[in-house]
């Protein structure tokens, strides 16, 4: 996500590697499959059914599956399970636990079908009916990621993005009243209209989520970027061509710099959103509150999330610096190479430093000490201001310092290595640090920033 705070945005690919990327196309690996059928009624309700064929890619025998019901985290909204087959189940807030009838061993599959009703909040949230759009972020029960600790089930957080999920293959049928255009994580393979309702058909491989945004007011601009179709759905943007171009140019830049963008299309969509933007696989939301410069910056930040969130996952609940700081650093690399947009490295580092020092000073005065550690989970932040300064501003300064420690060219090589090693998985923080450490003495830099010792 990119934050808007008081409306100030605070908020090793060798040829051989490129070949292995093609061989490792998101369509080809055995993984969990979602088949989602959902219908939006034109008001505040979406009725859905999700058939999940879970593939146990862990080394453990599992007795249960855990899902997150993010619709229960949004104020004014809810996600209610109406029926479930595949095991005994229990829902509690944003957590849904399904106890399997028999133990599921590694490389076996479990089939679970969940019927649910999503009641959409009204307001500028990820899952909500806004003035101009219907935001269907996190609109279905999604499997939690699984690691050494077990299932990673989190509560919806007041700050940041609690969404940690694993890559799966999606088949989606989304029905809405005729007249709604749908921006989604994939381009519709077709539509069917009957009785005033249109069903849109999608397939998306190798994605850790699927998102859609609906509106009857969308205009659509499109262009191609290095073999990827880039779309911009908007309803109020005098600079739509500029916004589309910066999305396409940053997609091309990150593709060449970090490694290949794997999806056939990338869609940017203007929405009502309190934050500046929000990332989903192959789709990013941009708030209609953004002015021209903010829209440019936020678009690049959200596009960077296609690498650092969508393809290379990380735990954005327990280590949000890992994707947010890296997206801020990626933005800086892009703008260094695209001076026409008016952002400079000196300017971006200067404003991050100034904002961070301001935060530090305020917290010191108000609370007799600022917690400068970066290893905090989302529920350990006092609010947006602290979170944005630690995860985004200090995150940018961290990656810049790590790049200075190994040299900027080596820093880019480290990020290519990180992309190659962790694409389609959830990377631990140590994995990212090790990629930098392979190119120089960067471990001390990471440690001193993360534990809060460094003085900025
Ligand atoms: Zn972000």
pLDDT tens-digit series, residues 244-300: 999 999 999 999 999 999 999 999 999 999 999 999 999 999 999 999 999 999 999
User: Residue 28's pLDDT is what?
Assistant: 52
DSSP character for 60?
S
Q: Is 80 exceeded by the pLDDT of residue 172?
A: yes
Ligand 1 centroid to residue 450 C-alpha, Å = 18
Burial of 151 (0-12, 13-18, 19+ CB in 10 A): middle
Tell how far the Cα of 302 is from the centroid of ligand 1, in angstroms. 6
d(CA 2, ligand 1 centre) in Å: 4
> 390-443: per-residue pLDDT in tens?
999 999 999 999 999 999 999 999 999 999 999 999 999 999 999 999 999 999
pLDDT at position 8, please? 35
The model's pTM: 0.94
Pairing of strands 33-40, 95-104: unpaired
Contact by Cβ (8 Å): 206, 26 = yes
Helices (H) and strands (E) in the chain, counts: 10, 25
For ligand 1, an ion, list residues with CB under 5 A.
1-2, 324, 327
How does DSSP classify residue 420? H
Q: Which of 249, 242, 232 is nearest to 183 (CA)?
A: 232
Q: Give the per-residue pLDDT at 95.
A: 98
Q: What does the pLDDT average to over 437-456?
A: 96
Give the CA dihedral 168, 392, 229, 31, nearest 10 degrees. Answer: -10
Range of weakest confidence among 38-42, 285-289, 389-393, 452-456: 452-456
Compute, in angstroms, the gap from residue 308 CA to the centroid of ligand 1: 9
In terms of DSSP H, where are the helices of 259-320? 292-304
* Cα first-last separation, the chain: 24
pLDDT of residue 369: 83
Q: Rounded distance, CA 126 to CA 418, Å?
A: 29
The domain locations on the chain are 31-219+306-456
Q: How far is the CA of 325 from the centre of ligand 1 (A)?
A: 8
pLDDT band of residue 12 (cuts 50, 70, 90) is very low
What's the pLDDT tens digit per position in 121-171? Answer: 999 999 999 999 999 999 999 999 999 889 999 999 989 999 999 999 999
User: Which pLDDT score, from 0 to 100, does residue 80 have?
Assistant: 98
DSSP letter assigned to residue 166? -
CA angle 48, 54, 60 (to 5 degrees): 145
CA–CA gap between residue 427 and residue 423 (Å, rounded): 8
Q: What pLDDT sits at residue 431?
A: 98
- pLDDT one-digit tens code per residue, 69-126: 999 999 999 999 999 999 999 999 999 999 999 999 999 999 999 999 999 999 999 9
What is d(CA 184, CA 265) in angstroms, rounded to the nearest whole number?
Answer: 10
The CATH code belonging to domain 31-219+306-456 is: 2.60.40.1730
Give residue 104 CA to ligand 1 midpoint distance, Å.
35
Are 211 and 263 within 8 A, CB to CB?
Answer: no
Give the number of C-alpha atoms closer than 13 A to the C-alpha of residue 377, restricted to the C-beta side.
13
The predicted pLDDT at position 4 comes to 60
Q: State the number of CA atoms in the 13 A half-sphere of 165 facing the CB.
A: 29
* Dist. CA 319 → ligand 1 center (Å): 13
**pLDDT the model gives residue 60:** 97
Q: Kindly give the interhelix angle for 429-437 and 394-406, rounded to the nearest 10 degrees.
A: 30
Please tell me the distance between residue 208's alpha carbon and the centre of ligand 1 in angstroms.
Answer: 16
pLDDT digits (tens, 9 = 90+) for 327-369: 999 999 999 999 999 999 999 999 999 999 999 999 988 887 8
Residue 367 C-alpha to ligand 1 middle, in angstroms? 27
Q: How many residues does the chain have?
A: 456
pLDDT digits (tens, 9 = 90+) for 290-327: 999 999 999 999 999 999 999 999 999 999 999 999 99
From the CA of 395, how far away is ligand 1's center (Å)? 11
Classify residue 139 as exposed, middle or buried by CB count within 10 Å of its CB (0-12, 13-18, 19+).
Answer: buried
pLDDT-above-90 percentage for the chain: 90
């Amino acid at each position: 996500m990119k934050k808007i705070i008081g409306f100030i945005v605070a908020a090793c690919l060798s040829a051989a590697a490129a070949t292995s990327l093609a061989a490792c196309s998101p369509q080809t690996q055995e993984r969990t499959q979602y088949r989602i059928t959902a219908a939006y009624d034109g008001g505040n309700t979406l009725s859905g059914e999700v058939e999940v064929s879970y593939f146990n890619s862990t080394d453990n025998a599992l007795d249960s599956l855990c899902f997150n019901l993010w619709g229960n985290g949004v104020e004014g909204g809810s996600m209610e399970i109406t029926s479930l087959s595949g095991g005994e189940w229990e829902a509690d807030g944003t957590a849904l636990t399904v106890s399997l009838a028999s133990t599921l061993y590694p490389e076996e599959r479990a089939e679970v079908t969940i019927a649910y009703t999503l009641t959409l909040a009204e307001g500028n949230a990820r899952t909500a009916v806004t003035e101009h759009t219907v935001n269907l972020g996190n609109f279905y029960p999604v499997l939690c990621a699984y690691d050494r600790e077990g299932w990673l089930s989190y509560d919806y957080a007041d700050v940041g993005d609690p969404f940690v999920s694993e890559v799966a293959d999606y088949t989606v049928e989304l029905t809405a009243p005729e007249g709604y255009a749908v921006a989604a994580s994939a381009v519709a393979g077709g539509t069917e209209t009957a009785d005033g309702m249109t069903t849109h058909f999608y397939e998306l491989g190798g994605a850790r989520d699927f998102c859609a945004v609906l509106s009857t007011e969308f205009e659509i601009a499109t262009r191609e970027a290095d073999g990827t179709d880039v779309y911009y759905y908007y309803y109020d943007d005098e600079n739509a061509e500029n916004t589309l171009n910066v999305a396409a140019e940053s997609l091309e830049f990150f593709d060449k710099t970090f490694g290949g963008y794997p999806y056939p299309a990338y869609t940017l969509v203007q929405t009502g959103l309190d934050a500046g933007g929000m990332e989903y696989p192959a789709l990013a939301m941009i708030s209609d509150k953004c002015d021209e410069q903010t829209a440019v910056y936020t678009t690049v930040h959200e596009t960077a999330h296609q690498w650092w969130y969508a393809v290379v996952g990380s735990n954005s609940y327990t280590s949000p610096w890992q994707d947010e700081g890296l997206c801020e650093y990626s933005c800086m690399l892009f703008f260094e190479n695209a001076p026409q947009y008016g952002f400079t490295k000196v300017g971006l580092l200067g404003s991050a430093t100034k904002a961070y020092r301001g935060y530090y000073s305020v917290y010191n005065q108000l609370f007799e000490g600022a917690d400068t550690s970066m290893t905090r989970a989302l529920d350990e932040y006092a609010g947006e201001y602290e979170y944005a300064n630690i995860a985004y501003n200090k995150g940018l300064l961290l990656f810049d310092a790590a790049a200075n420690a190994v040299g900027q060219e080596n820093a880019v090589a480290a990020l290519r290595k990180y992309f190659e090693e962790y694409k389609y998985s959830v990377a631990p923080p140590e994995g990212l640090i090790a990629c930098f450490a392979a190119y120089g003495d960067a471990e001390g830099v990471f440690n001193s920033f993360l534990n809060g010792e460094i003085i900025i």
